[in-house]
Structure 1
Amino acid sequence: MKQNHSVTEFVLLGLTQDPMRQKMVFVIFFIFYVATVVGNLLIIVTIKSSQTLGSPMYFFLFYLSLVDFCFSTSITPRLIVDSLSAKRIIPYNECMTQVFALHFFGCMEVFVLIHMSLDRYVAICKPLRYPTIMRRQVCTILIVLAWVGSFIHAIAQIILALRLLFCGPNLIDHYCCDLQPLLELACTDTYVISLLLVTNSGAICSTGFVTLMISYIVILHSLRNHSAEGRKKALSTCTSHIIVVIISFVPCIFIYTRPPTCPMDSNIMQLISFHFFVLLSSK
């Protein structure tokens, strides 16, 4: 990448500077990361190797686990290593790559969750038309659109990041590279870029959350016409989905739709929330 500034590397301050707390960060997030990787890989292998898990719900769950694995791997390993490292230097190109990966896989999770809510809506509200509407070709097209939309979003974010000029200092008050902490280091006017960040990432988080909550409200309202056994089965699936949506979207909205008043707390909340995917999505 061509650089038009004097900064060639950044220093990540991480979650804490206290040695004892750094060890706690290492242990906690190492456990979270291992659980996330193992859980998601088990889901991926199980769905791929089973001939009975071919429904659209498991089709989307496969991609949710795959994307969650990639998202966690793009952030957490460096956080774990940096928690025990005296020097937390990240080169400029690697930092920009992390910005792209963070937004690409994060946006992909949003789209996959929306597709999963669509699948549940059709299955519960239009059961007779479910095989026709949610056939494999349609599901494949939805996933392709999700990849394309996520790529466009990530490209937009990386273009904004590349437009920033850095003259020093190079200390990022964050555990990874993202646009918001980079804006604080830029030596140019960042008002327009900040506005674009809110209208881009903030709009995706807010619109996705509202869309998902409305769809699940409609689903839950339609369950009144189902049998007791049918309601119990549908509620079991929808409840876990709703919890995942709330845990993942609330920190995203909190971070990207308003100026951070306490960025470190929000960063910790966002990072921990994404690691709960493996505990809930497997239901």
Structure 2
Amino acid sequence: MADFLSLAGKRALITGGTQGAGAATVALFRELGAQVMTTARKPPGHLPDDLFLAADLSTPEGCDLLAEAVQSRMGGVDIIVHMLGGSSAPGDGFTALGESEWQAELALNLQPALRLDRALVPGMIARGTGVVVHVTSIQRVLPLPEATTAYAAAKAALSVYSKSLSKEVSPKGVRVVRVAPGWIETEASVRLAERVASEAGTDLAGGRRIIMDSLGGIPIGRPSKPAEIANLIAFLCSDRAATITGTEYVIDGGTVPTA
């Protein structure tokens, strides 16, 4: 029986692919037969040089460097997965966010996708085929005012841009979809839970519970695993999802309380 899912022969770019859900997605894509290039600011030490580029995608120069490397090393790309994202903004609400904090959140969570799509999607259009995945966040509909206002706003902008792009390029053979994760149990999130637990005088399970409660609860009782995010993205990029475009898929264990 043929494998249900294959990405054999596909050339994929996955940004932010050295840790967490990004690393899981890179690993799964390669397991499914794709040629994958990824990037981060620093080399992870476990990827061949021809499959990795050190670049700061929060800058125009970093995006240009990556786009050029994709063309020279792979001759173009069939799949783009925009995994890059995160937040370094301080807590304490909107008054703690100055000009530099807002610019930093937009530079990391919105602008790399705009720049790389502008550079690489025309090649997809010329070939009449391709898939673009924008990884957004449930924070775009469920922001935490004390901590994620700027991040959530940037992800909301990314989602609107993604929908607009899908309407423009889907008739030309390029599918564009969004994946909106909730809390993912990465190494960084475990460290956060440990810190929360320490501050609250509880154990790791208690720290995780405090975080889940801050989100309004996760009905399945746990965060998603990086591999579970990767599974969804791989399906959406495969030929099994050939008529799926312009939509957003939430993977949050039921966190968002509305349909």
Question: Whose strand fraction is larger, Structure 1's or Structure 2's?
Answer: 2
Question: Whose helix fraction is larger, Structure 1's or Structure 2's?
Answer: 1
Flag the structure with more relative contact order, 1 or 2, with Cα contacts below 8 A and sequence separation at least 6: 1
TM-score, normalized by the shorter chain, greater than 0.5: no
TM-score when scaled to structure 2? 0.31
The structure with the largest alpha-carbon Rg is 1
